[in-house]
Structure 1
Amino acid sequence: MQMLTAAVITISDRASAGVYEDVGGPLLATSLEGCGFDVKEKIVIPDEKERIVEELRKLRNTVHAVLTTGGTGFAPRDITPEATKMVLDREAPGITAALLFEGLKHTPLAALSRQTAGIMGKTVVVNLPG
């Protein structure tokens, strides 16, 4: 049986500039590995739409799943969902709803995350809050 592969993209101006250490990306990668995924890529990039689109396109059909963390809130530079929608072939609202319902079990603030999920070629893409 083929091992599932994944990539993790942390989207944060401050983490990409070295202002603080990326904690979320490594935690997400460890969680994926615990679920049996081989995490092929772990990158940190700024909240820039063009860069997000570029990195997602590079990963199209190279891994089974891309999980992003960060850029899903309401700050002016939080544009991860908009960039992701530019590369998706189809959205997966059921994944988004499931993530929201699970998040709401832990905090009412989960409703403030604009998560997006869908398929890009043969690659599933899921945006998670940072």
Structure 2
Amino acid sequence: MHFHGYEWAGDGRLLAKEPERRPVEGAGFRLSELPPMMTGWWLLRPAAQIRGTWETATDAADWLTERYEEHTPGGDPWLPIEARRQCAIEQLTGASDVMWSRWISDTRWSSHYVIVCPNKIWPDIPCPTAYAARAASPSD
């Protein structure tokens, strides 16, 4: 198991473009930068959309924390960032995807995702980078 990071920030009203966010509704899904409707569907997107890959839940949660803090100046008043980070580590260790998102202005939405790969909910979706196969093979 390893983890891929993704992010999207933009006009939150664009999230209503559901056909671009569903893999069954046309070719626009693969090319769209909008977040998919289901977290595991990120793995169907081109590898170029991956912002990082990690072997440990802690490393993935650290990236998530850094990115979230960058897009959430002044922090989140409802949940301290360290508590949020610890919860993410627990979720990822348990093979559950993690998504942190919020409105950062009247119209701007910011979202950050760490997706477990292979994904237990979508086991037939292959790793977009074949990371697992490379990690398992001996070095030359």
Give the number of the structure with larger relative contact order, counting CA–CA contacts within 8 Å between residues 6 or more apart: 2
TM score, norm. by length of structure 1? 0.29
TM score, norm. by length of structure 2? 0.28
